[in-house]
A and B are shown apart, each in its own frame.
Chain A
């Protein structure tokens, strides 16, 4: 248990989603342990001991966006409702507690809220997320809340602008200091991958690590595949992109075996993309600016469709990359992405993420994803200024 706690505190530091010195994780086996910054560790332990769950992360996010969302929320509101896929699929909504709701010991109230949601924001404290059966799960839920609040705050800025004292300054510092330039520079790729199993596995593992190390995606969200003759090698469902060793399934293209039942939920999309484009590799992740920009549509006012994320029939465009709607897994994404991805080698799914291709190897797919995200980033800041 302790090694798990250390590991995920390390991950929260490495992906810079939490502030060093303001991270705690609690876990319970037959005894409860809580590690990390003392005050948060106490809160984490007190809250977890009231829950029939295994782990809990309490950390102060490295960006004040979740706090701003609370401060910007109307009186009487008790939760925020981001529009991205993570929220829609897994979080449903994100409840929050304001500072003034915190009189006395916050643990009972937190436990009550976490009794029906995976993550909660507490003003002045941070994001508290629970993991029903593993520490990793608590980490994933923290990451989801971090991701979703990031996306929602930046979206809200585009429509409503800055409203609070200090908001603009904080945002400037986010832009200048927190955000790092994205690039593929200095990374090594196999130019044209062979059909060799070992080489393919190693290359998938390596590229997975790159996507996280370079800050392109958060570790948990995405999937990677390579096509080799009659097999598709694809990362497993619920696998972390930076830890793919042992988590890649070989799936026969003719479905003659079902060992790939553990493969990514996007297997169908990957398979169709290979069929449609003849590419060798596919990279999929949820870079944040692409997610934000994909949800901007200038026809929102007049459009009769309300559930854009799954029903929008249009192919929109972001700097040459097609944007389509469609839900994950057996939802519509697997139908809408394959026909449009071939031309540019990239496609964005509404509120969800980016798919890119490599005709010979992962270098092309990785660089394309960097370009797409960089374009969306610039485009976002351009719009914000305008």
Chain B
């Protein structure tokens, strides 16, 4: 077999066993890898409570991983989110995915719960469960450093150990499996870290075709101002968006009360470069290298993080923001949810935290002490506990990232249709509504957006299963990645067949969610966006969203998806009809 290894490592932490199993080829062809494969493997488990010992935690790479397909050294981590209660997946880069593939694996499937803290160590064909000993309780840096000799490391920090609902799993090289609290799922299993070493190579079916497709992808990267332009993400990382979102009046500020922060230039891409001496870093083998690190090698914050520790909390000091980012990485906290939860907390009590208080509260969150005991549950639960449920700026309990939905109507719709809650990356309409890729759409119009969002969700579900990076698609399309995939695997794929796979994955996820009680009542934006305007300026008005028009477009979306007007499935046997 080319591309895939066809192997799954089944790890049962309760019995302490590791076993290599075969993955049926039919399943690989139909779900590719990464998110799709992980979601498929959840079929028998999606109803379990996220903290049920039997709940799987799945790490899945894709068929392109291990080849030099641009941006493909990634994996997806899949489970059920304790924060949102939805099916959950997150794509992450770094070196770990590459090593996992090198160990001859497409999937690591972790189930059960250990009696004492452990580390899962994979080295080529061998896998063993080791006592974590001293490592439990340690920060991410120290844990990674202690395990370095065992290869690539992914680990949780105190936040994951203590069950913080938005705890990340941190990849050793500064990447993270973020947002939905899969770090808490890992902590619940008393699994402190996974290490992996592997030197195997991924077979490529047609080398010449592969080289041609790769050249096509690279040409499109160079032609994309967002990727390789002099103001693009290769130069400035995602903070390149700071100035743009300020100009477009859609940078969430003070818990989304306004959409413009006058001091945002303090943490813009150029400011970070100047102040922190940012240099390029990135995922293994990725030609874009969009991550930035300080001169000392410290990972620097992404766009979402600078906005949320900045504007969203009314903080203008870049160094305070960088510190908060570093602290989150060390504790294993998701930066977006942590900052947004602090912001909701701040508005509820009438005062946003200052930088010093931010540091203290983040630490309290991770260790669940003082205010942290409440804050560790995320903004929805915090706002409800404080009697102000309207102040949680979240969808399905997932805190919204740094694109105000009043400034991009496709984004508004995509936040509610996302299967993992308020996330920008599912349909990623910012790509066309703001960044004009592949073509521009009118950000203040709902026209056509239901169909566009549906298509984009399908495309991105396929992308997350390849697994490739979303940023690659600011230049390339499924046309070129379909070529890469066909060349690698020897199985023919094109944009339409990949979108069909994406649709299958999306519907499976939505089906799981509906089976767990989700429906139209959860496809909801916070009230604020329908009643309060954002900040006007530079000739741009940001009026509240038109609720009727929004609902109309949501109904269109359900029809296009083949769902009932309630957003659910009429056909209870959907899964049985899928491979």
Q: A92-B216, A134-B441 are in contact. Are A115 and B497 (CB under 8 A)?
A: yes
Cβ B268 vs Cβ A238 within 8 A: no
Judge whether B332 is part of the interface by a CB distance below 8 angstroms: no
Q: Which of B242, B244, B503 has the most A CB atoms < 10 Å from its CB? A: B244
| Distance (whole angstroms) from the CB of A225 to the closest CB of chain B | 13
Cβ B496 vs Cβ A261 within 8 A: no
| Distance (whole angstroms) from the CB of A229 to the closest CB of chain B | 19
Judge whether B434 is part of the interface by a CB distance below 8 angstroms: yes
| Distance (whole angstroms) from the CB of B427 to the closest CB of chain A | 10
Which residues B124-146 have CB closer than 8 A to chain A? none
Q: A92-B479, A237-B436 are in contact. Are A259 and B222 (CB under 8 A)?
A: no
5 smallest CB-CB distances across A and B, nearest first, come from A116-B494, A115-B496, A330-B228, A329-B223, A30-B556
- In the complex, which residues of chain A have a beta carbon less than 8 angstroms from the beta carbon of B452? 54, 133-134
Judge whether A373 is part of the interface by a CB distance below 8 angstroms: no
| Distance (whole angstroms) from the CB of A28 to the closest CB of chain B | 6
- In the complex, which residues of chain B have a beta carbon less than 8 angstroms from the beta carbon of A134? 432, 439, 441, 448, 452
Residue ID in chain A nearest B431 by CB atoms? A133
The CA-CA distance from A263 to B247 in the complex, in Å, is 14
Judge whether A255 is part of the interface by a CB distance below 8 angstroms: yes
* Interface residues contributed by chain B, number (CB under 8 Å): 57
The CA-CA distance from A267 to B161 in the complex, in Å, is 48
Neighbour of A255 across the interface among B222, B270, B436, B479, CB < 8 A: B270
Which residues B424-464 have CB closer than 8 A to chain A? 432, 434-441, 447-448, 450-452, 455-456, 458
The CA-CA distance from A28 to B451 in the complex, in Å, is 8
- In the complex, which residues of chain B have a beta carbon less than 8 angstroms from the beta carbon of A54? 448, 451-452, 455
- In the complex, which residues of chain A have a beta carbon less than 8 angstroms from the beta carbon of B448? 1, 4, 27, 29, 54, 133-134
- In the complex, which residues of chain B have a beta carbon less than 8 angstroms from the beta carbon of A88? 219
- Which of the segments B19-27, B229-237, B355-363, B529-537 contacts the partner chain? B229-237
Main secondary structure of the interface of A (DSSP, over half): loop
Which residues B336-372 have CB closer than 8 A to chain A? none
- In the complex, which residues of chain A have a beta carbon less than 8 angstroms from the beta carbon of B441? 133-134
Neighbour of B439 across the interface among A30, A133, A258, A267, CB < 8 A: A133
Q: A29-B556, A54-B452 are in contact. Are A258 and B268 (CB under 8 A)?
A: yes
Judge whether B499 is part of the interface by a CB distance below 8 angstroms: yes
Judge whether A218 is part of the interface by a CB distance below 8 angstroms: no
Q: Which of B229, B269, B482 has the most A CB atoms < 10 Å from its CB? A: B229
| Distance (whole angstroms) from the CB of A231 to the closest CB of chain B | 14
Judge whether B549 is part of the interface by a CB distance below 8 angstroms: no
Judge whether A328 is part of the interface by a CB distance below 8 angstroms: yes
The CA-CA distance from A10 to B76 in the complex, in Å, is 46
Residues of B within 8 A of A (CB): 216, 219-226, 228-232, 236, 240-244, 246-247, 265, 268-270, 432, 434-441, 447-448, 450-452, 455-456, 458, 477, 479, 482, 494-497, 499-500, 503, 556-557, 559-560
Task: Give 16 CB contacts A-B under 8 Å.
Answer: A29-B451, A52-B499, A92-B479, A111-B496, A116-B496, A134-B439, A140-B439, A236-B436, A255-B230, A257-B268, A258-B241, A259-B247, A268-B229, A327-B222, A330-B223, A330-B229
Residue ID in chain B nearest A28 by CB atoms? B451
Neighbour of B244 across the interface among A51, A115, A261, A267, CB < 8 A: A261
The CA-CA distance from A117 to B244 in the complex, in Å, is 32
Cβ A261 vs Cβ B240 within 8 A: yes
Cβ B432 vs Cβ A89 within 8 A: no
Judge whether A44 is part of the interface by a CB distance below 8 angstroms: no
Contact with B along A221-247 (1 / 0, CB 8 A): 000000000000000111100000001
| Distance (whole angstroms) from the CB of A333 to the closest CB of chain B | 10
Number of A-B contacts (CB under 8 A): 157
Judge whether A159 is part of the interface by a CB distance below 8 angstroms: no
Judge whether A264 is part of the interface by a CB distance below 8 angstroms: yes
Judge whether A338 is part of the interface by a CB distance below 8 angstroms: no
The CA-CA distance from A111 to B494 in the complex, in Å, is 12
Which residues A1-39 have CB closer than 8 A to chain B? 1, 4, 27-30
Cβ A238 vs Cβ B270 within 8 A: no
Cβ A115 vs Cβ B229 within 8 A: no
Judge whether A53 is part of the interface by a CB distance below 8 angstroms: yes
The CA-CA distance from A259 to B448 in the complex, in Å, is 27
Cβ A30 vs Cβ B559 within 8 A: yes
The CA-CA distance from A96 to B455 in the complex, in Å, is 26
Cβ B456 vs Cβ A133 within 8 A: yes
The CA-CA distance from A257 to B243 in the complex, in Å, is 6
The CA-CA distance from A42 to B285 in the complex, in Å, is 47
| Distance (whole angstroms) from the CB of A115 to the closest CB of chain B | 3
| Distance (whole angstroms) from the CB of A3 to the closest CB of chain B | 9
| Distance (whole angstroms) from the CB of A358 to the closest CB of chain B | 23
The CA-CA distance from A88 to B556 in the complex, in Å, is 37
Which residues A300-348 have CB closer than 8 A to chain B? 327-331
Known: A116-B495, A262-B435. 4 other contacts (CB 8 A): A4-B448, A88-B219, A257-B270, A329-B222
The CA-CA distance from A265 to B220 in the complex, in Å, is 11
Judge whether A251 is part of the interface by a CB distance below 8 angstroms: yes
The CA-CA distance from A117 to B496 in the complex, in Å, is 10
Judge whether A118 is part of the interface by a CB distance below 8 angstroms: yes
The CA-CA distance from A256 to B231 in the complex, in Å, is 10
The CA-CA distance from A271 to B225 in the complex, in Å, is 14
